Structure 1
Amino acid sequence: MLIDSHAHLDFYTSHPAERDEVLARAYDAGVKTILAIGIGQNPAEMHLALDLANTVTGDRQPRIFASAGIHPEQAHNATHESLAELTRLASQPRCIAIGEIGLDYYHLENPDIETQKKAFIAQMKIAASLNKPILIHCRTSELATPKAKEKYGPADAWADTIALIEEHFKPSGLPGIMHCFSGNVEDARRSLDLGFYLSFAGNLTYPKAQQIRDAAAFAPIDRILVETDAPFLAPIPFRGQRNEPAYVAHTAAAVAQLRGISSDELAARTTENFHRLFPSTRSVEA
């Protein structure tokens, strides 16, 4: 049994039955639990993932849990009203985390750094007040366009993310997830020191992703998760296609090979890690 710890299920709308078909394929592939990410296209759509978690039931369908959050690309929309709505959504039982939240210095059109930081801090405070883990999005400007690099200058999204977590979330004693972990071993070490888990996505299977593979081999087995980030980042052999939760099995197999264990053991360990991080999912699934 596998758990997809990060999927954007509300994006499957190309035809009326698409989401049901995606969920059925996931179930048949052994993916029995999915954390649906509640960011939508903007804060007005944060509720969509929780709506799914509260309504998806039936045969050949995984159990769905939800998060809610304001993505850094939408930080300018982290208004008093949207933060209040986030608090309302995150207070509900099947909303088990705040996210994905964090910093993104990659796209030119993203809000300025201070706006992103303000939204990030506000959401960490909400998570701490509700005793909920956070799901971190962190993207640097390393590979950005020249104009984006000029906009963000020498700022380091990893360094800024870690510093803000240390100041505003670590005192809560709560854990979190570094979603789609794309850093190096030192970034992994600093994340683990914060009490966070590292979640690996399909980009780990790409030829140029050696530093991600190094981090996946380095991290303790009890602190790793697997995800799809569907419909994005399909793993090899599906790279370039639309990703979906069923494909998390390919990422899990790649991580298992890196660590010299069987796919079954990797599935069992990452499933246990998820339940430890989110205890309410264990009791519901049992």
Structure 2
Amino acid sequence: MESPKRTRNGADVTNAAMLVDHHCHLDFPQFAEDLDGIIGRAKAAGVGTMVTISTRIRQFDRIRVIAETYKDVYCSVGTHPHNADEELDIPVEDIIRLAQHPKCVAIGEAGLDYYYQHSSAQGQAEGFRRHIRAARETGLPLEIHARDADEDTATILADEHAQGAFPAVLHCFTGGRDLAMRAVDLGLYVSFSGVVSFKKSEALRALAAELPLDRILVETDAPYLAPVPYRGKTNEPAYVVHTAAAVAEARGITLTELAAATTENFFRLYTKAQPPEELDPSLLKGAPPQ
């Protein structure tokens, strides 16, 4: 499979500044037979850093090994809301302990999913709050999953923020404008996946254009939600270039400008991650010293 070279509107993507895919699932079976190829194609496409995201704390070792194997791949630790009821017996102290691993740069993903409701609403909320506490105590950003749960997500975020600030990003955002703006007001970030490139995502593109540039990220959520022109295929980190291009087009800026901004945003938020050696330091003017 060739690395992507052009965006859906024909723009050249080979000369953009480095991109980051802060949310993918490299431990999923779709990638088991070709992980070296997946990482190689991402690098060839200009994706310098990836974070493979935990969905079950009890399977943390699977993603830890991947992060240890590849220099510019990091990981998180946490329980997806689909699996919340399965891991409510795991104390927050265990999340905090596992997060001390040098390649673990984030907490989660955790949050609320009322679309599928694979776990109870009560269990999801309890797990969400535990992960917020872990993010607050470790200083690592929480990857928040929120689907069809805008009101309850906003309520929990506001309630927990009143007890102490914590770093976080609303990943793969598909919610309403109110939730996004309330999150930004609390100092959080909002991330866009391939959904932003879909034909019927006009409202999402309008939001991507409206949010402050210093509060947005891009991701794949691979192997899901491949952007145009790969929609319907297995997604992979290399394709984040097309998601970034869709956001850049919506904002009326170049892909290079969008890539530079989201890369700087990433390293500002994910303070444990080390920039790749080939990254131009000028892109990180706002990031904390390494």
Same fold by TM (over 0.5)? yes
Partner of 2:135: 127
Flag the structure with higher helix content.
Answer: 1
Mapped to 2, the partners of 1:166 and 1:179 lie a distance apart of 17
Q: Do the aligned residues in 1 keep the contact of 2:84 with 2:127 (CA within 8 Å)?
A: yes
Partner of 2:179: 187
TM-score, normalised to structure 2's length? 0.85
Read off the aligned partner of 2:227 and give its amino acid letter: P
After superposition, what is the alpha-carbon deviation per residue over 1:125-154, rounded to whole angstroms, capped at 9, x for unaligned? 1221222211100011xxxxxxxxxxxxxx
**Matching of residue 88 in structure 1 with residue 97 in structure 2:** yes
Identical-residue share of aligned pairs (%): 42
- Structure number with higher relative contact order (C-alpha < 8 Å, ≥ 6 residues apart): 2
After superposition, what is the alpha-carbon deviation per residue over 1:205-235, rounded to whole angstroms, capped at 9, x for unaligned? 1112122111101111111111000000000
Provide the secondary structure at the position in 2 that maps to 1:207: coil
After TM superposition, give the deviation of residue 7 of structure 1 in Å: 0.6
Provide the secondary structure at the position in 1 that maps to 2:22: strand
After TM superposition, give the deviation of residue 85 of structure 1 in Å: 3.8
Call closer, same or farther: CA 1:246–1:50 in 2, change over 3 Å: same
Read off the aligned partner of 1:37 and give its amino acid letter: I
- Describe how 1:221-232 pairs up with structure 2 within 5 A: 221-232=213-224
After TM superposition, give the deviation of residue 47 of structure 1 in Å: 2.9
Structure 1 stretch displaced more, 92-101 or 162-171 = 162-171
Picking from 210, 213, 218, the partner of 2:205 is 213
After TM superposition, give the deviation of residue 14 of structure 1 in Å: 5.6
After TM superposition, give the deviation of residue 6 of structure 1 in Å: 0.6
Read off the aligned partner of 1:9 and give its amino acid letter: L
Q: Do the aligned residues in 1 keep the contact of 2:54 with 2:80 (CA within 8 Å)?
A: no
**Matching of residue 70 in structure 1 with residue 86 in structure 2:** no
RMSD over aligned CA atoms reads 1.8
TM-score, normalised to structure 1's length? 0.86
After superposition, what is the alpha-carbon deviation per residue over 1:62-115, rounded to whole angstroms, capped at 9, x for unaligned? x1111111011111122333645423221222211111100010115x122111
The count of corresponding residues between Structure 1 and Structure 2 is 261
Provide structure 2 residue ranges, at least 5 long, that are not aligned to the other structure: 1-17, 280-290
Provide structure 1 residue ranges, at least 5 long, that are not aligned to the other structure: 58-62, 141-156
Picking from 38, 48, 59, the partner of 1:32 is 48
Q: Do the aligned residues in 2 keep the contact of 1:13 with 1:19 (CA within 8 Å)?
A: no
Call closer, same or farther: CA 1:195–1:83 in 2, change over 3 Å: same
Partner of 1:147: none
